[in-house]
Amino acid sequence: MVIDIPNPYKKRLVIIGGGFGGIQLAKKLKNKPIQVVIIDKNNYHTFQPLMYQVATSVLEAESIAYPIRKIFSRSKNIFFRLGEVDQVDHENNRIILGNDEMQYDYLAIATGAKTNFLNNEGLTISSMPMKSVLEALDLRSMILQNFEKTLRNSNERKRQGMMNIVIAGAGPTGVELAGALGELKQKVFPKDYPELDLSQMNVYIVQSGDRVLPMLSEKSSVKAKKYLEQLGVTVVLNTRVLDFFGDYVQTNTGQDLIARTLIWTAGVIGNPVQGLGAEAVNRGGRIEVDAFNRVKGYENVFAVGDVASMVSEDFPRGHPMVAPAAMQQGEQLAKNILNEINGQPMKPFVYKDKGAMATVGKNKAVVELGKMKFGGSPAWFVWMAVHLMSLVGFRNKLVTFFNWTKNYFSSDRGIRLIVTPFDLYEEKRKRKKELAKLEKEKVRE
C-alpha cells in the first residue's frame, strides 16, 4: 500500500532516522518549499549522550527523549511516520516498510550506528549494550536486581559476581558510565544495602589501548583515569575482553573477571538500510559518501551522521561518530538540497571540530576546546551547561537541571526503579540465543 501524504510542493525529501543528523536536517528545512517526511521506528528523538544517566538512576527516561511530532508541531511541511524501513528501491525512487511503500525525490539516510559485538556469540547474547532507552532501562533494572538477589544468596563467589560490573571500552560512554557506577558504589548503595560489604563490589573498565579516552590528549586521559580511581573504579589497560560466560569475563591476558554484568561499549558499526549496492557500504557498515554527503553511485540519495563515511585527507576513516558531526552534516545537506532545487551548485561539507569533553563524576570532568585543556569543577560545569542546552524541549531542560541540582547537594539517585522483571530479562536473553542459532543455520545453508 502506498503511504500517501498530500504534497503541494514539487519535491519530497524522505529522512530515515530521527537522530541528531536527521532531526537537524529537518529543522533547517522547516517551512521551506519542500515536503519533508521523517521515518523512525520510535516516535521520539533520544539524547544519547545522557543515556548512561538513565542506566544509573540519575535521570528518568523521559528527560532524554522528546516526541518527534512535537519538535515539528509548528512546521507545515514536515511530517512524521512511525515505521522501520526494510529496503530502498532506488530504481523506482521508493522505500519499502513492510507491506507499505513511499515515493521520494530525495532520500537521506540517517540511521546512525549499532553495537558491534565483533561477531562474538557470547557477547551478543549475554552482554548489555546501551544504544537505546529500553537498553538503558534494562541495564538499570539488571544492576538493581542483582543486588537484591545478592541479599538472598550465601555463596561467596555468586555474591561477588552479582555485585561486580565490567565495562568493556573506555571511550566517553564507558568512562562516564564507570564514573556514575563508582558514585553509586560510594554514595548510594551503602545506604540502600547496609547489609552488604560494598568494599567487595568492583567496577572494572577494560580498555584494549594504553589509556582511557584515547580521542583526547594524554593529559586529559591521565586526569580521567585519576578521577575514575578516586571513585573506586579499577582501570584495566592493554587488555581485551574475549568472551562472556554469564558469571565471568574472559580476557586476552588470562585474567578472568568475576562478574554477572558485562556492559559492552567497546565499539559500534554503521547501521545502513538494505537495498544499496555493496560498493556503497564499507567494512565498518558505514555508507560511502562524497563531499556533499551524496551516496557514491547515486544522484538523489544522501547519508548523514554516524552511518555516513566521508573520507578525506584530514579524515581518512571518515568523520568521528559524534553528535556535532551529524548535526553539521544535516545542516549543510539542507542547504545543498535547497541549492539544487533552486538550480544553484552544492557546497562541500567542512567539519568544524568544536572540541570534546567527558564527565566522570561530580566536580570531575575533562574538557578540550581548541588549545584549552582543563579539568575538575570548571570542566564539570562546562560539560553540564553544554549538555543541558543541547537537550530538546523546555521540560527536559528544566527536569534535568532540577535532578542535577538535587543530586549535587544530596548525592542521591531517586529513580532506583526496577522496571524490567528479571524473568523478562532472562527471556530476552533466551530469544537472542535462539536468533543467534537461527543466523548460524542460515549461514550453513
- pLDDT tens for each residue of 63-107: 999 999 999 999 999 999 999 999 999 999 999 999 999 999 999
Neighbours of 20 (CB within 10 A): 28
Hey, what amino acid is at 122? G
Contact between 267 and 275 (Cβ < 8 Å): no
β-pair type (268-270, 301-303): unpaired
Q: Check pLDDT > 90 for residue 442.
A: no
Q: Among 19-28, 45-54, 81-90, 427-436, whose mean pLDDT is lowest?
A: 427-436
d(CA 219, CA 374): 9
Tens digits of residue pLDDT in 214-243: 999 999 999 999 999 999 999 999 999 999
Burial 246-285 (b: 16+ CB within 10 A, else e): ebbbbbeeeeebbbbbbbbbbebbbbbbebbeeebbbeeb
Q: Check pLDDT > 70 for residue 444.
A: no
d(CA 57, CA 137): 9
Query: What's the confidence (pLDDT) of residue 24?
Result: 97
d(CA 2, CA 200): 59
d(CA 203, CA 389): 31
What is the mean pLDDT of the segment spanning 272-289? Answer: 93
Query: What's the confidence (pLDDT) of residue 412?
Result: 79
Query: What's the confidence (pLDDT) of residue 146?
Result: 93
DSSP E strands in 131-219: the ranges are 165-168, 203-206
Tens digits of residue pLDDT in 322-378: 999 999 999 999 999 999 999 999 999 999 998 999 999 999 999 998 889 999 999
Query: What's the confidence (pLDDT) of residue 439?
Result: 61
Query: What's the confidence (pLDDT) of residue 305?
Result: 96
Strand partners, 289: 295
**Grid cell at residue 145:** 536486581
Closest CA to 303 of 30, 16, 80, 109: 109
**Grid cell at residue 47:** 539524547
Q: Is 288 helix (H, G, I), strand (E, B) or coil?
A: strand
d(CA 86, CA 125): 24
Tens digits of residue pLDDT in 166-219: 999 999 999 999 999 999 999 999 999 999 999 999 999 999 999 999 999 999
Query: What's the confidence (pLDDT) of residue 409?
Result: 87
Q: Among 24-28, 266-270, 379-383, whose mean pLDDT is lowest?
A: 266-270
d(CA 185, CA 387): 25
- Which domains are assigned to the chain? 121-266+355-434 (3.50.50.100)
Query: What's the confidence (pLDDT) of residue 124?
Result: 85
Alpha-helical runs (H) found in 56-201: 68-71, 121-126, 133-150, 156-163, 172-183, 189-192
β-pair type (94-97, 100-103): antiparallel
**Residue whose grid cell is 561499549:** 265
Tens digits of residue pLDDT in 380-426: 999 999 999 999 989 999 999 999 998 888 877 878 888 876 665 56
Contact between 251 and 98 (Cβ < 8 Å): no
Query: What's the confidence (pLDDT) of residue 269?
Result: 93
Burial 89-128 (b: 16+ CB within 10 A, else e): ebeebbbbbeeebbbbbbbbbbbbbbbbbeebebbbbbbb
Contact between 319 and 325 (Cβ < 8 Å): yes
**Grid cell at residue 234:** 579499577
H-helix or E-strand containing 154?
Answer: none
Q: Check pLDDT > 60 for residue 59.
A: yes
* Mean of all residue pLDDT scores within the chain: 91
- Helices and strands (DSSP H and E) totals, the chain: 13, 24
d(CA 339, CA 332): 10
What is the mean pLDDT of the segment spanning 275-303? Answer: 94
**Grid cell at residue 345:** 551548485
Closest CA to 215 of 368, 318, 76: 368
Q: Is 8 exposed, middle or buried (0-12, 13-18, 19+ CB in 10 A)?
A: exposed
- The distance of Cα 73 from the centroid of its chain, to the nearest Å, equals 26
d(CA 407, CA 401): 10
Neighbours of 443 (CB within 10 A): 7
Q: Check pLDDT > 90 for residue 295.
A: yes
Taking the whole predicted model, whether its pTM rises above 0.85 is answered as: yes
- The distance of Cα 224 from the centroid of its chain, to the nearest Å, equals 21
Q: Is 79 left (phi over 0), alpha (psi -120 to 50) or beta?
A: beta
